[in-house]
């Protein structure tokens, strides 16, 4: 009959006829334990199926060696790339990740935060949901001196670190590029203006128009949930406009690609009739024809910086230089937007 009880250091000590303290020190690679004794103890522990009790050890140290992560959606290339960076840095420093998604819901985000707090995570990394209006659910972490790092969609939090790109500048550059190609009636497709990423991109878009003496008109602005379904609906509205727009700047690549597909189905040439620019540099931007002009968003680097910043706080709780860290973006010009010069990217 199989035994279901856990093997302890006392069982190993009894099997080898040595003290439990010697077993404990050997399993922790203590330098005062002889190599041969250590080898026997480790071999016996393996044969007996001993498992180190991380939970009990962490309780003693008041550390769980886990980092909680709350994101709005798991099914995006951007978030997957962020996770790649998070996991790399976390694992290199001996931390695991507990991941949850709010599914773009403030109420679910509150539940995610509460669950992670009760799971005793050492720190929290967050990208906010579409409809989050206040950030009180993160106060339980801040009051317990549990560090919080926001990335991409960030909160106005003086006690936290924020990892972003300059969304205003990126949108200004994307819009200015369209204007340089001769576009004057430019549609902007954005997301919920509660989120910094979308409000800042709209501001950059408006500034580029103003600096080129182009009037901003609300009928060329579409606020959506940035889904493929919404993009198809916007494409239909663009096709019915008179006069039609000659440019589109979308706040993500999924939307921009859907716009291109729908326009070309209707016989509208991209970029000849309507030039299109996206945002994020997802792989789909290099597959769609014509290839999509977009903003490169350093997602993996963002994950690495977020994890490194949080772990830095955990290792040195006296760090007081909490701030906003701005990562570099760049405009990648491809065939979907080039009207005035050769169509070679």
Q: Which domains does the chain have, with CATH numbers?
A: 9-52 (1.10.260.40), 65-164+299-327 (3.40.50.2300), 167-297 (3.40.50.2300)
List beta partners, residue 96.
66
The counts of H helices and E strands in the chain are 13, 12
Burial of 62 (0-12, 13-18, 19+ CB in 10 A): exposed
Running DSSP on this structure, what letter comes out for residue 329? -
User: Taking the mean position of all CA atoms in its chain, how far away is CA 222?
Assistant: 24
Are 178 and 210 a contacting pair, CB within 8 Å?
A: no
- pTM for this one? 0.80
Sign of the dihedral through C-alpha 178, 179, 181, 187: positive
Distance from C-alpha of 330 to C-alpha of 333, rounded to nearest angstrom = 10
Give the count of beta carbons closer than 10 Å to the beta carbon of residue 74. 12
Write down the pLDDT at residue 345.
Answer: 38
Write down the pLDDT at residue 339.
Answer: 83
Distance from C-alpha of 325 to C-alpha of 270, rounded to nearest angstrom = 36
* Per-residue pLDDT tens over the stretch 28-82: 788 888 888 888 888 888 888 777 665 555 544 556 789 999 999 998 899 999 9
Low-confidence ranges of the chain (pLDDT < 50): 1-2, 59-60, 342-345
What element of type H or E holds 151?
strand 148-151
């Amino acid at each position: 009959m199989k035994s279901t009880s856990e093997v302890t250091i006392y069982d190993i000590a009894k099997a080898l006829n040595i003290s439990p303290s010697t077993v404990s020190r050997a399993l922790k690679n203590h330098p005062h334990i002889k190599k041969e004794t250590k080898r026997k103890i480790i071999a016996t522990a393996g044969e007996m199926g001993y498992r180190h009790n991380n939970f009990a050890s962490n309780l003693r140290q008041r550390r769980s060696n886990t980092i909680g992560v709350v994101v709005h959606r798991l099914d995006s290339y951007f978030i997957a790339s962020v996770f790649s960076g998070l996991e790399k840095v976390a694992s290199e420093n001996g931390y695991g990740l507990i991941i949850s998604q709010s599914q773009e819901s403030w109420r679910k985000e509150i539940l995610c935060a509460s669950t992670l707090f009760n799971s005793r995570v050492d720190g929290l990394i967050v990208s906010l949901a579409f409809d989050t209006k206040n950030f009180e659910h993160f106060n339980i972490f801040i009051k317990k001196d549990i560090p919080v790092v926001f990335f991409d969609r960030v909160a106005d939090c003086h006690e936290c670190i924020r990892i972003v790109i300059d969304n205003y500048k990126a949108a200004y550059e994307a819009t200015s590029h369209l204007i340089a190609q001769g576009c004057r009636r430019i549609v902007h497709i954005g997301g919920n203006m509660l989120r910094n990423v979308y409000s800042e991109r709209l501001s950059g878009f408006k500034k580029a128009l103003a600096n080129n003496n182009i009037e901003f008109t609300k009928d060329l602005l579409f606020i959506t949930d940035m889904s493929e379904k919404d993009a198809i609906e916007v494409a239909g509205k663009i096709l019915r406009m008179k006069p039609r727009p000659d440019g589109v700047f979308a706040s993500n690549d999924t939307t921009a690609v859907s716009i291109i597909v729908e326009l070309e189905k209707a016989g509208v040439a991209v970029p000849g009739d309507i030039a299109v620019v996206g945002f994020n540099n997802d792989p789909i931007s290099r597959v769609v024809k014509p290839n999509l002009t977009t903003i490169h968003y350093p997602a993996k680097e963002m994950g690495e910086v977020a994890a490194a910043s949080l772990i830095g706080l955990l290792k040195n709780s006296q760090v007081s230089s909490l701030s906003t860290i701005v990562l570099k973006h760049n405009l990648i010009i491809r065939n979907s937007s080039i009207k005035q010069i050769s169509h070679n990217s």
